Amino acid sequence: MMSAMVKLNHHYQKLQPNYLFTEVEKKTETLLSREPGAKLLHLGVGDISMPLPPAVVEELVQASLEMGDPKKFRGYGPSQGYLFLREKVAKHDYENLSVSPDEIFISDGANTDLANLQEIFAPDVRVALPDPAYPVYLDTTIMAGRTRLPLKTGGYGGVVYLPCLEENGFQPLPPPTHADLIYLCSPHNPTGVAMTRPLLEQWVDYAKRHRSILILDAAYEAYINDPEIPHSIYEIEGAKEVAIEVKSFSKNAGFTGLRCSYTVIPHQLRVADTGSIFSLNTLWKRRQDAKTNGVSYPVQRAAAAVYTEAGQAQVKGLVTGYLERAKVLGDGLRALRFAVFGGVNAPYLWMGVPERFNSWSFFDYLLEKAHLVTLPGSGFGKTGEGYMRLTSFGTKEAIAQALERLKAL
């Protein structure tokens, strides 16, 4: 019997394998096989290196014990997350911004929501994203069929790229063209540069004129030092009518292995379509109700502990620790005459590559001559060429040693 055959999502064929981390790993292994005694120092890792703060662990353990108690255990929780956590987020992270708990959705990671949020929009919406950027924005846009094929000149047809360049202070500017759905990230991964208030105002204005939606990835918000930099896009007037904000417990409280984040979708975020007005909050709630049973109860309890007095002090200690390392690394690199950006309001530094190198050849050079493992900026988009992403998640000792080795080059 001949019959039709199940067809696949053809857009996956447009994905280009992201060789960044596998290539870094391969090159590192090759070096180690050649020089088995090499003491490698890792300067590019994006994962945290300090454990969960004690207040968080205590609550995690407490809630875990309760899960074995016939009187206290919890079964299915709300897909939107427990109210006790959403109330804490609303009160603490949006103190004067009037965000209500029912505008907050708890999730198992910023990554998850940044990817899945596209589902509530039409297949043919035009996506804009910074270049360089966290690869998830582009990969999930490709998977959803919202790009054309990759172009010979780099990048994908149908995507609006927002170049983050030294000329524009690494600030992604609103483009002259139209985009429907715009990913922004502040403080930015990989450049480590935070978006200024005037730029966020420009974006809110752009979104209103173009009737677009902004998705702000604010996973590194806790690292903002500069009092002029907004901690939330909702500090900008009118932003609630155009912006979704995604925040995470990963990089402030060390939840990369525990998994918890949240997404804010204000009730004012309404879209007129086919003659009716739709609330994005309601659409997302419907999506979450159908597709998830929410985040692990002990993990939500642990996240709530971030907002206790002890939790706040401990998280501040972690963030301050990483920022101090970023300062040491940045100052050290500048003293060695490298061009370095970021690292003030973020755990990431964006280092210019010396003239005779490109991202990958400089990676090779640092690996071979100084046994330093870094991350080539070109892995984050074509505008990242000529840069390296360094992070302050390594230990103090590793950073000090790395600087010594660079000096000796």
User: 28-47: which residues touch its own copies (CB under 8 A)?
Assistant: 47
Burial readout 50-88 (b: 16 or more C-beta within 10 A, e: otherwise): eebbebbebbbeebeeeeeeeeeeeeebebbbbeebbeb
Cα gap 179→210, rounded to integer Å: 7
Could you tell me which stretch among 112-120, 190-198, 231-239, 345-353 binds its own copies (CB under 8 A)? 112-120
Which CB sits closer to its own copies, 28 or 292?
A: 292
Residue 211 CA to chain centroid, in angstroms? 24
In the complex, minimum distance from the CB of residue 336 to its own copies, in angstroms, rounded to a whole number: 29
DSSP secondary structure letter of residue 140: H
Which CB sits closer to its own copies, 211 or 334?
A: 211
Which of 16, 73, 84, 354 is the binder for its own copies (CB under 8 A)? 73
Residue 391 touches its own copies, criterion: CB under 8 A = no
Residue 119 touches its own copies, criterion: CB under 8 A = yes
In the complex, minimum distance from the CB of residue 82 to its own copies, in angstroms, rounded to a whole number: 10
In the complex, minimum distance from the CB of residue 68 to its own copies, in angstroms, rounded to a whole number: 3
**Segment 291-310, which members bind its own copies (CB under 8 A)?**
291-299
DSSP letter string, 305-336: HTTSHHHHHHHHHHHHHHHHHHHHHHHHHHHT
Which CB sits closer to its own copies, 124 or 355?
A: 124
Which CB sits closer to its own copies, 322 or 362?
A: 322
Angle between helices 54-66 and 297-305 (to 10 degrees): 150
Strands 181-185 and 213-217 come out as: parallel
Amino acid, res. 400: A
Which CB sits closer to its own copies, 147 or 341?
A: 147
Q: What x/- string results for residues 225 through 264 when contact with its own copies is judged by CB under 8 A?
A: -----------------------------x-xxxx-----
**Segment 327-386, which members bind its own copies (CB under 8 A)?**
none
Burial readout 119-138 (b: 16 or more C-beta within 10 A, e: otherwise): ebbeeeebbbbbbbbbbbbb
Could you tell me which stretch among 1-9, 187-195, 358-366, 398-406 binds its own copies (CB under 8 A)? 1-9
In the complex, minimum distance from the CB of residue 142 to its own copies, in angstroms, rounded to a whole number: 9
Which of 67, 173, 339, 400 is the binder for its own copies (CB under 8 A)? 67
Query: Helix, strand or coil for residue 57?
Result: helix
The length of the chain is 409
Residue 20 touches its own copies, criterion: CB under 8 A = no
Residue 109 touches its own copies, criterion: CB under 8 A = yes
Burial readout 322-342 (b: 16 or more C-beta within 10 A, e: otherwise): bbebbebbbebbeeeebebbb
- The count of other CB atoms within 10 Å of the CB of residue 252 is 21
Residue 121 touches its own copies, criterion: CB under 8 A = yes
Which CB sits closer to its own copies, 213 or 353?
A: 213
In the complex, minimum distance from the CB of residue 359 to its own copies, in angstroms, rounded to a whole number: 22
The answer to whether 183 touches 129, Cβ cutoff 8 Å, is yes
Listed in sequence order, the residues at least 6 apart from 116 whose beta carbon sits closer than 8 Å to its beta carbon are: 287, 291
Cα gap 318→324, rounded to integer Å: 10
* Residue in this structure with the two tokens 């909702």, named with its chain if needed: 234
In the complex, minimum distance from the CB of residue 78 to its own copies, in angstroms, rounded to a whole number: 11
Q: According to DSSP H, which parts of 144-262 are helical?
A: 197-210, 250-253
Which of 96, 272, 309, 397 is the binder for its own copies (CB under 8 A)? 272
* Residue in this structure with the two tokens 């609550």, named with its chain if needed: 59
Q: What x/- string results for residues 184 through 223 when contact with its own copies is judged by CB under 8 A?
A: -------------------------xxxxx----------
Q: What x/- string results for residues 164 through 183 when contact with its own copies is judged by CB under 8 A?
A: --------------x-xx--
**Segment 122-151, which members bind its own copies (CB under 8 A)?**
122-125, 135-136, 139-140, 143
Which CB sits closer to its own copies, 250 or 374?
A: 250
